[in-house]
Amino acid sequence: MAIWLAGRKGADYFTKTLISTTFRSLRTSSTVIASFGDSDDSSTGNFRKPYSFFPCADSSPAAVFRSRRFESSQAGPQLDFFSSDDDDEQIQGSMDFPGGKIGFTSEMRFLPESSEKRVECYRVLDDNGYELSSPKQHMNKEVAMKMYSGMLTLDSLDTVLYEAQRQGRISFYVTSFGEEAINLASAAALSSDDLIMPQYREPGILWWRGFTLQEFVNQCFGNKNDYGKGRQMPIHYGSKKHNYFTVSSPLATQLPQAVGAAYSLKTEKKDACVVAFFGDGSSSEGDFHASLNFAAVLEAPVVFICRNNGWAISTPTTDQFRSDGIVVKGHGYGIRSIRVDGNDALAVYNVVRVAREMAVTEQRPILIEAMTYRVGHHSTSDDSTKYRPADEIEHWKTSRNPVSIFRKWVQRKGWWSDEQESEFRANIRKQVINAIQVAEKTEKPSLETCLLMCMKSYLQV
Amino acid sequence: MATNLRRFKRFGSVFINNSSPLRGLSSSSAVLGSVDGQVQQPGTGTGKSINLYTAINQALQIALDSDPRSYIFGEDVGFGGVFRCTTGLADQFGKHRVFNTPLCEQGIVGFGIGLAAMGNRAIAEIQFADYIFPAFDQIVNEAAKFRYRSGNEFNCGGLTIRTPYGAVGHGGHYHSQSPEAFFCHVPGLKVVIPRSPKEAKGLLLSSIREPNPVVFFEPKWLYRLAVEEVPEGDYMLPLSEAEVIREGSDITLVGWGAQLAIMEQACVDAEKEGISCELIDLRTLIPWDKETVEASVRKTGRLLISHEAPVTGGFGAEISASIVERCFLRLEAPVARVCGLDTPFPLVFEPFYMPNKNKILDAIKDTVNY
């Protein structure tokens, strides 16, 4: 699925809005920390247990083959919600199958297609920027202000470059409106050594790491200072210096690659993980399922972050999957997972920080589903009012705006004022416009560079 | 035609008896390799007679030994692989460097790209070339374009995808296909196919150390069948250099992989009828050595291409078009293509499908007498 399909005449999805999704969870991060502290996995930094063909005195086939399996493939205890209270009475012996011991029952019971209750969504702030409970972790002013100024910068960059596309000055653009908190909060929670495998709606992380406005704009204009040398459509950023792999249009292809890169970090015992981003639509791709399975089996330190923004171009999540979103899929692959309010910057920050820590110290993958909403159109080739109601967009743009929610919190802290807001916005807009003027005047890359650089041997030019 | 299988049986026994016609196909341009990819002049090292899978195994052993950042992974490679190419490697180098993956080709190649992008040599095995297609997107859209699209910020040049291809006598359409042409249509990839054990070892080491992604097709019929003396040490054979393995003056034959043994037989039979054939092993399909083929066709004035893959859209079509462009006025006859039929690869009628010696011999005579 390409990312830039032209706008379609959409079906009427008025009755399928995401507004009905309610975030009722009051779960705090301390619960999460406790749960990973209780983990019995002591294989930090180790590879799977060594095996040999005939490792022990017990040479029964089951014992031999059991020892050859990865730890992660061994059957664990049954989940509570899959079994009833009188389970013990129903168990009638057990048997060693490949993969471990499994109990028998005479009662025929199918697992339900989903649990009755949807997985809760971790949240720190309410829509008015008030903390739901006294915070367990404190964010310092410096980090908070950098996050907030990053959100404003991202908004300004998006607004001006979107207009530039409408004026025909660049060919294409994709905004991150509505997903600013996921961008900046995850950036803040990571180490700069952590490698980013982006989809395409995560430029905030690059900004956090020092990618300049001029560098963003150079890429969109495909001039000779674009690191991609004018070969990819706008917003396909990438920078080795910033540990940010170049964006690739095909969806979910970055996910199995993230596992390979994470495996390299693991073997070299680096204090870093790979963070792979994707959307709700990408979770239908085969590469998504391949990557979760590979990451679990190979015990790779990778954090998968799904931005579930409700829409894959015009396709709502109701046409995408029947599961309770993405978070439940982690369980099927043996991956620890959490759902977080993606419009709550503090919640995203807390979750990504803990997830990153677990991935590195325990050498395991973690799956995060950040619930959010794509406020902008899919891209400049799309008109989303053709397939979703304007008031739905408006609701998420105003009442649930991640920038506004965070702003209320930082202003209440006394770290930001209305005057600073207007001054910053005016200033950053000027900077973006200035970067565009510079980028427009910069020459295109040389023709021979564009034509020849697909093999190493041609790189001399 | 029904004698085809018997012929191959005989062919096989000839190989194993060490008096194989493939001996004539062995490389004369073997060079000693070194870790940094420098190609050196050949020494006088003696080698043992080994089969093709053992030669592959030796190359993989050397690759792992000479670079601690090299990894081998794929379905069943941990215990040695279904064709035994990775035998003993996990024990020698550890299960973190030679390991099984889940059964998922797109995962294997995607994983390999990520591993290679971190500066490692990622040697992925796809168990049969017939099953490479789930990984087609990762190979075509990702591996091939990784360097180009990032303006060389990133590359996955350390990736080598090994996969057995081609007829095996009883494989049917899902264990016999030759999908090389699909990958020859993709700038950014190299496609390499060896014809014999000595070639396989030298070309595989070059492919692994090559700074661009390579799809390395191994002729599975020859894994056990082809036996020749192979230098024991570390050596590499150059990519993108074709080799004239039999000189002649009347017609040029171009092929690769297992098909060369069949073509060699046809050359021998043609010689009995007074036709002098020049036989070229292309070795690397992209980027291919047009100059060697062109020089030969300028000399002989005739060209025959043979491959197991279906004739339509096969790589023979590309060679034919390129040579016609380059030496139209020197051609004495239309370019002949003796290839697989335009059908799925059959099972019981495999002998009818295959571009066998008699079909090639007929085409040689037709072309020479045009």
* pLDDT exceeds cutoff 60 at A195: yes
For B96, the closest of A228, A267, A294 (CB atoms) is: A267
Among A72, A379, A381, A384, the one annotated catalytic: A379
Characterize the bridge pairing of strands B47-51 and B31-32.
unpaired
Q: Give the pLDDT confidence score for residue A28 in this predicted structure.
A: 37
Better pLDDT: B129 or A16: B129
pLDDT band for position A138 (cuts 50, 70, 90): confident
Residue A371's beta-bridge partner residues?
A308, A341
B310 preceded by cis ω (within 30°)? no
pLDDT band for position A124 (cuts 50, 70, 90): very high
Contact A260 B110 (CB under 8 A): yes
Q: Give the pLDDT confidence score for residue A450 in this predicted structure.
A: 66
CA B91 to chain A, closest CA, distance in angstroms equals 9
**Average of per-residue pLDDT across A134-152:** 92
* Three-class secondary structure of residue A330 per DSSP: helix
User: Which residues in chain A are closer than 8 Å to B103, comparing Cβ atoms?
Assistant: none
Contact B155 A51 (CB under 8 A): no
Is residue A249 among the annotated active site residues?
Answer: yes
Arithmetic mean of pLDDT over chain B: 90
**Average of per-residue pLDDT across B117-129:** 98
Contact A287 B106 (CB under 8 A): yes
Q: Give the pLDDT confidence score for residue B311 in this predicted structure.
A: 98
For A454, the closest of B120, B122, B147 (CB atoms) is: B147
Nearest to A332 by CA among A375, A280, A381, A289: A289
Nearest to A190 by CA among A227, A243, A149, A236: A243
* pLDDT exceeds cutoff 80 at B88: yes
Contact A255 B144 (CB under 8 A): no
User: Which residues in chain B are closer than 8 Å to A460, comparing Cβ atoms?
Assistant: none
In angstroms, the CA B360 to CA B262 distance is 8
Residue B165's beta-bridge partner residues?
B219
Percent of chain A topping pLDDT 90: 74
Q: Give the pLDDT confidence score for residue A453 in this predicted structure.
A: 59
pLDDT band for position A13 (cuts 50, 70, 90): very low
User: Helix, strand, coil proportions of chain A in percent (round to 5)?
Assistant: 45, 10, 45
**Average of per-residue pLDDT across A40-68:** 40
Residue B83 corresponds to which amino acid?
A: F
Most confident of A3-7, A55-59, B333-337: B333-337
Per-residue pLDDT tens over the stretch A368-396? 999 999 999 999 999 999 999 999 999 99
Other C-beta atoms closer than 10 Å to the C-beta of A134 total 6
**Average of per-residue pLDDT across A233-261:** 98
pLDDT band for position A248 (cuts 50, 70, 90): very high
* Three-class secondary structure of residue B38 per DSSP: coil
Whole-model pTM?
A: 0.86
* pLDDT exceeds cutoff 60 at B247: yes
* pLDDT exceeds cutoff 80 at A7: no
A299 touches chain B (CB under 8 A): no
Residues 197-256 of A with CB under 8 A from B: 197, 226-229, 231-232, 236, 238-240, 245-246, 248, 250, 253, 255-256
* pLDDT exceeds cutoff 90 at B89: yes
Q: Give the pLDDT confidence score for residue A447 in this predicted structure.
A: 83
pLDDT band for position B172 (cuts 50, 70, 90): very high
Q: Give the pLDDT confidence score for residue A135 in this predicted structure.
A: 76
Enumerate residues 6+ apart whose C-beta is below 8 A from A241. Answer: none
Residue spans of alpha helices (H) in A190-253: 203-208, 213-221
Per-residue pLDDT tens over the stretch B301-358? 999 999 999 999 999 999 999 999 999 999 999 999 999 999 999 999 999 999 999 9
Better pLDDT: B35 or B132: B132
